Structure 1
């Protein structure tokens, strides 16, 4: 299974240019089975002043490009997220698109970020956990700040998740926290975790980058630095079952005492 994580800088105040840039990078991922983009890459997570004016419905220009791109390179695409508008509400929304251009799953960020952020004031939190059943395996979706909430990832495992896809706009100075949470969420759930983070500046905030692929043992098998890059790696999905059989920690849970 070939993975491509696109670590990308924001183009501020020119969404069309951002969409063209993302398309060019996706085309560089031809041959991958799965491609993932960062959080609110088309305008920038910190661009709260333009959330409403640049928001889109599901069939807007961002998703139209991504659906066509999935068909073009014949790969699953995790769209990263964008500000989606529906019935007068706005969401931090991401989709999983099939190689045929079908919309397989939608995840709306459950845990909105309110620390030095206006996300909680502008957007509506999602209210459902998302795990998509694909030919690659069962894929759970989460976004950035969600990494701090282990119960979300355990719920995805209970729904059968084998892979976690994380789109993010994680800022400095919390690099060590980012690295810790990526590894821990993979290790404690014995899943692969693939993240795509933003880099460079957006509204005077710098993102940490360091997108990564973590195996079910919590080992980072591929990682990026703090510059734009495309992280490409091949993984073996058999490692998931192997880890769970060799060290069956999930079977030791005493759920009846905790929930």
Structure 2
């Protein structure tokens, strides 16, 4: 399975420009190969908090637009605001040619930048299958919460996608934690970041990364705008878990619960 991260620049609050940019590149990279294409967190709007509720009214239309561009071999991981009355959810939609086939609401919100003031948190995890690959959906800040990744992997995920807006000044945290989540859960972790977040003050980001179940980089992370591509092989997940059975050993030793 090809896994592509669209590491492109975003403009805070400019839905039209972001939509034109990302969906144009999306259309260019689609072919007949089985593919999962990941877009950065809140790629269409950025964290334009005061306008997210208004923007969320266009989410269904955007998901439909994405779906109409796809063939049956392509899945898009798209994070968009989901309307929820006075607040919104930060929601990941898994979009295929038949429409939205799965979604996930961000559990852990980034309180240092007041995400929790404008956005409601979700509860639970999401794992689904696409063309023989079990996919889990998580987001950005959540790489700092290994319990959430363990629950997602325990639910069967062989590949966990992580859309993000993560500043380059913390790239060592980003790369270290993505790699750690791959090693400890013995599965693929694919983190897709924007290249630059243009806003009141531009924030360089970059360094989208994908790690295999052994913790090896599938491609070299870099700061530049581009489409970064790797291959996920479910058989390798089973191979590594058999070679060093730490993941399976933990299943019989611990009970992991999430309390509301």
Give the distance between the partners of 1:161 and 1:207, measured in 2 at CA. 31
Kindly provide the CA deviation profile for residues 157-198 of structure 1, in whole angstroms up to 9, marking residues without a partner as x.
121111100100012321100000110111100001111101
* TM-score of the two chains, using structure 2 as the length reference: 0.90
The residue that corresponds to 2:210 in the other structure is: 213
Structure 1's consecutive aligned runs of 4 or more residues displaced over 6 angstroms after TM superposition are none
Q: Structure 1 residues 123 and 258 mapped into 2: Cα distance closer, same or farther (>3 Å)?
A: closer
Q: 1:121 aligns with which of 117, 138, 146?
A: 117
Please tell me the root mean square deviation across aligned C-alpha atoms, in Å. Answer: 1.9
Tell me by how many angstroms 1:55 deviates.
2.2
CA contact (8 A) 1:78 1:97 kept: yes
The residue that corresponds to 1:94 in the other structure is: 92
The residue that corresponds to 1:38 in the other structure is: 40
SS in 2 for 1:231: strand
Instruction: Say how many residue pairs are matched.
Output: 253
Q: Structure 1 residues 142 and 234 mapped into 2: Cα distance closer, same or farther (>3 Å)?
A: same
Kindly provide the CA deviation profile for residues 173-230 of structure 1, in whole angstroms up to 9, marking residues without a partner as x.
2110000011011110000111110121333251421001110001111133112110
SS in 1 for 2:43: coil
Give the distance between the partners of 1:169 and 1:243, measured in 2 at CA. 30
SS in 2 for 1:25: helix
SS in 1 for 2:70: helix
* TM-score of the two chains, using structure 1 as the length reference: 0.90
CA contact (8 A) 2:12 2:197 kept: no
The residue that corresponds to 1:3 in the other structure is: 3
The residue that corresponds to 2:235 in the other structure is: 238
CA contact (8 A) 1:141 1:164 kept: yes
Q: Structure 1 residues 256 and 233 mapped into 2: Cα distance closer, same or farther (>3 Å)?
A: closer
Kindly provide the CA deviation profile for residues 124-148 of structure 1, in whole angstroms up to 9, marking residues without a partner as x.
0011211112223111100000100
SS in 2 for 1:210: coil
CA contact (8 A) 1:144 1:169 kept: yes
The residue that corresponds to 1:148 in the other structure is: 144
The residue that corresponds to 2:74 in the other structure is: 75
Q: Structure 1 residues 175 and 50 mapped into 2: Cα distance closer, same or farther (>3 Å)?
A: same
CA contact (8 A) 1:169 1:207 kept: no
The residue that corresponds to 2:171 in the other structure is: 175
Q: Structure 1 residues 126 and 222 mapped into 2: Cα distance closer, same or farther (>3 Å)?
A: same
The residue that corresponds to 1:131 in the other structure is: 127
CA contact (8 A) 1:212 1:224 kept: yes
- Unpaired runs of 5+ residues, structure 2, are none
CA contact (8 A) 1:35 1:78 kept: yes
Q: After alignment, is 244-253 or 34-43 more displaced? A: 244-253
The residue that corresponds to 2:21 in the other structure is: 21
CA contact (8 A) 1:7 1:38 kept: yes
Give the distance between the partners of 1:248 and 1:162, measured in 2 at CA. 15
Q: Structure 1 residues 248 and 143 mapped into 2: Cα distance closer, same or farther (>3 Å)?
A: same
Q: After alignment, is 25-34 or 148-157 more displaced? A: 25-34
